[in-house]
A = this chain, B = another copy of it.
Amino acid sequence: MTEKFYIERLTVIGVGLIGGSLIRALKRADCVGQVTGCGRTREALEPALELGVIDRAGDSVAAAVADADLVVLATPPSTSGELFAAMREALPEHTVITDVGSAKGSVIQAARDHLTAEQFSRFVPGHPVAGTEKSGVEASFADLFDAHRVILTPVNETDPAALAMVETLWQHAGAEVIRMPARQHDATLAATSHLPHMLAYALVDCLAGMGEHRDIFRYAAGGFADFTRIASSSPQMWHDICFANRDELLDVMARFQEQLTTLTAAIENDDRQTVVNMFERAKAARDRFSDLRAAGGTVVGSGDSSE
């Protein structure tokens, strides 16, 4: 890195909402040179080429990373293993690698399994806590990460220079960067993002299965719209996140089901005190969360879907 932060050759594998928005944000900051995209197929990259988001399309993962200074994996976490394996022989010695996956433990394990120790030290696990319920490069925009958080989860082996480079990258993309252990990240996201998505999907599917659902949805209002917005997120992506963070997610789903069983029993048994106590504790916690957001203590955004 020179004094002015600049990446001569950037390769982004998976040019969708997140990958596309990162490229746009770096171009906005004028800190990126040639951008190579890599997708499942050549056709999948056409929109990104036509929109001018990428400059060229790599014919294979190996070809796409062959002269890269930085490689960003912006694909579902489940693809990480095969992608690391495919780039292993082709990666230049200096290349830094990062990713944007919503679950970190499984991606770190895949990197450990498929990269050389040298390469693994230059892999910086990351997660931009931003998104919308839309997907695809057409939905990408340069401001997506502004005032949002990016969580980096380096391990003991992570090279400090590589970590610093990825940190600076995200700062130039408009984000606030924080670091935490991967396990803490995965538990936190399971609770505040992955579980809510499960509940939203399960609720909408439950209602849709009630037969007269056209009418049910017809009389639903704003609260329902807010509550279920995340159920419009990509099924493929969320199915992938589910299994990438499986253990943490199952843990928090079990806790939630216990809670719901307690509430149901209280309503059945006319135990009004238990019900009102639960609602009051929840309101107090939610109001504190609002205050935290208002004070800038947490990210401001809406409809984040790859949180």
A264-B252 Cα distance, complex, nearest whole Å:
11
- Report the minimum CB–CB distance from A218 to chain B (whole Å): 5
Interface mask (A282-294 → B, CB under 8 Å = 1, otherwise 0): 1111111110110
Interface pair B204/A188, CB less than 8 Å apart? no
Residues of B within 8 A of A236 (CB): 276
Residues of B within 8 A of A67 (CB): none
- Taking a contact as CB atoms closer than 8 A, the residue among B208, B250, B257, B307 that contacts A267 in the complex is B250
Interface mask (A211-239 → B, CB under 8 Å = 1, otherwise 0): 00101111111111111111111111011
Interface pair A243/B230, CB less than 8 Å apart? no
Residues of B within 8 A of A201 (CB): 263, 278-279, 282-283
Residues of B within 8 A of A284 (CB): 208
A26-B278 Cα distance, complex, nearest whole Å:
37
A159-B264 Cα distance, complex, nearest whole Å:
38
- A-side interface residues, number (CB < 8 Å): 100
Sample of 19 A–B contacts (CB below 8 Å) = A192-B207, A192-B220, A192-B221, A192-B224, A201-B278, A204-B289, A205-B259, A213-B285, A217-B288, A218-B297, A221-B299, A222-B302, A222-B307, A226-B303, A235-B282, A238-B279, A239-B275, A242-B267, A246-B267
A31-B96 Cα distance, complex, nearest whole Å:
70
Copies of this polypeptide in the complex = 2
Identify which of A191, A209, A213, A275 gathers the most chain B CB atoms within 10 Å of its CB.
A191
Residues of B within 8 A of A275 (CB): 239, 242-243
A263-B195 Cα distance, complex, nearest whole Å:
11
Q: Which of A254-279 contact B (CB under 8 A)?
A: 254-257, 259-261, 263-264, 267-268, 270, 272, 275-276, 278-279
A238-B307 Cα distance, complex, nearest whole Å:
29
Q: Does any Cβ of B come within 8 Å of A157's Cβ?
A: no
Known interface pairs A210-B255, A260-B253, A276-B235; A224-B193 also in contact (CB < 8 Å): yes
Q: Does any Cβ of B come within 8 Å of A149's Cβ?
A: yes
- Report the minimum CB–CB distance from A169 to chain B (whole Å): 20
Q: Does any Cβ of B come within 8 Å of A300's Cβ?
A: yes
Q: Does any Cβ of B come within 8 Å of A116's Cβ?
A: no
